[in-house]
Amino acid sequence: MAHRHETIIVTGGSTGIGLAICEHFLSQGCDVINLSRRPAELQDSRLHNIELDLSDRNATAEVAADVAQRHEVTGLVHNAGLIRAAELEDVALEDLDYLTQVHIGAAITLSKAVIPQMKQRGFGRIVLITSRAALGLQTRTNYSATKAGMMGMARTWALELGPHGITVNTVAPGPIAATEMFERVIPDGSPKLEELARSIPVRRVGLPDDVARAVGFLCEPDNGFITGQTLMVCGGASLGSIAL
Ligand code: NAP
């Protein structure tokens, strides 16, 4: 495969889906800049780990400006994310503020920093990782609200940036095992895992590589005719479930 000389920012590349996304782009010959609080533990000279807490608005702006100044960024994958589970009666608005900053505010700040150079180049790829839970899931008020917000935002950016050769899409995973997020909800070896797999049309939960391949596809330079879309990578878990 011909190697791509591109630089992709990946947020939350230290674990789970983000780590698989970093590995995917590194395997294609891209430079990868991982922004997360912990480093992605991969041995690759093209991987640049930058420690960043995306809930810190000022730190995010500083890092975004610095990265944009030092790198020719061709792609941004905003993958970092977290759940603050609560039934509606117990939802804390502080959690909404936190998730809004990590899921939406950080995406805006990072995109604003790299868009000028993408426009100048006439090429760019932005992918936001949202969730099937944006369609609804118990105890996920703050999570589904902010993930659904990312989808609306991506559609707006697709309209604004399309004329500049920049596509913007969202990838919405269903349950993805081998991630810290999933294992906090369904611990490894739990009987709940089989029950969940049985409820999914393809009869298995997803793996980080399932998502990484979808992200890679949307970022390929040839795939410039797909923008403003949400790709559900969920084994059919987003489909209707009425059994007749
Ligand atoms: P994960 O293993 O928990 O990874 C979450 C990543 O987000 C970590 O790399 C973490 O890095 C980063 N992150 C969280 N808070 C951060 C902060 N304040 N600043 C910087 N980085 C932060 O879970 P995952 O499943 O791979 O999640 C990746 C994305 O997929 C998330 O957006 C999640 O909502 C989405 N998703 C996951 C599933 C699933 O079933 N796993 C389903 C649907 C959607 P540090 O802790 O090192 O900072």
* Rounded-to-integer distance, Cα 50 and Cα 149, Å: 26
Ligand 1 site-directed mutation target among 181, 200, 204, most atoms within 8 Å of CB: 181
* Rounded-to-integer distance, Cα 11 and Cα 32, Å: 10
Closest C-alpha to ligand 1, atom 33: 81
* Rounded-to-integer distance, Cα 9 and Cα 74, Å: 8
Is residue 143 annotated as a catalytic residue, yes or no? yes
Please tell me the distance between residue 240's alpha carbon and the centre of ligand 1 in angstroms.
27
Ligand 1 site-directed mutation target among 10, 36, 55, 84, most atoms within 8 Å of CB: 36
- pLDDT tens for each residue of 20-35: 999 999 999 999 999 9
What pLDDT does residue 223 have?
97
How many residues are present in the chain?
A: 244
Work out which ligand 1 atom sits closest to the CA atom of 17: 26
Please tell me the distance between residue 17's alpha carbon and the centre of ligand 1 in angstroms.
7
Q: Report the chain's terminal Cα–Cα distance, integer Å.
A: 46
- pLDDT tens for each residue of 109-137: 999 999 999 999 999 999 999 999 999 99
What is the residue type of 199? S
What pLDDT does residue 69 have?
98
Give percent above pLDDT 90 in the chain: 95
Provide the pairing of β-strand 75-78 with 230-233: unpaired
Domains of the chain: 7-176+208-233 (3.40.50.720)
Model confidence at 39, pLDDT cuts 50, 70, 90, reads very high
What are the structure tokens assigned to 135, written together? 């369609």
What pLDDT does residue 85 have?
98
- pLDDT tens for each residue of 149-186: 999 999 999 999 999 999 999 999 999 999 999 999 99
Q: pTM of this prediction?
A: 0.98
Please tell me the distance between residue 3's alpha carbon and the centre of ligand 1 in angstroms.
28
Model confidence at 188, pLDDT cuts 50, 70, 90, reads confident
- pLDDT tens for each residue of 69-96: 999 999 999 999 999 999 999 999 999 9
Q: Tokens 């991506």 correspond to what residue?
A: 154
Q: Is pLDDT above 90 for 5?
A: no
Q: Is pLDDT above 60 for 2?
A: no
* Rounded-to-integer distance, Cα 145 and Cα 164, Å: 29
What pLDDT does residue 150 have?
98
Contact (CB, 8 A) for 83 and 131 = no
What pLDDT does residue 84 have?
98
What pLDDT does residue 242 have?
81
Closest C-alpha to ligand 1, atom 32: 81
What pLDDT does residue 97 have?
98
Model confidence at 201, pLDDT cuts 50, 70, 90, reads very high
Please tell me the distance between residue 86's alpha carbon and the centre of ligand 1 in angstroms.
18
Q: Is pLDDT above 70 for 207?
A: yes
Q: Is pLDDT above 80 for 8?
A: yes
Active-site residue (options: 17, 40, 143, 214): 143
For residue 65, CA distances in Å to 6, 23, 71, 117, 242 come to 18, 25, 10, 12, 49
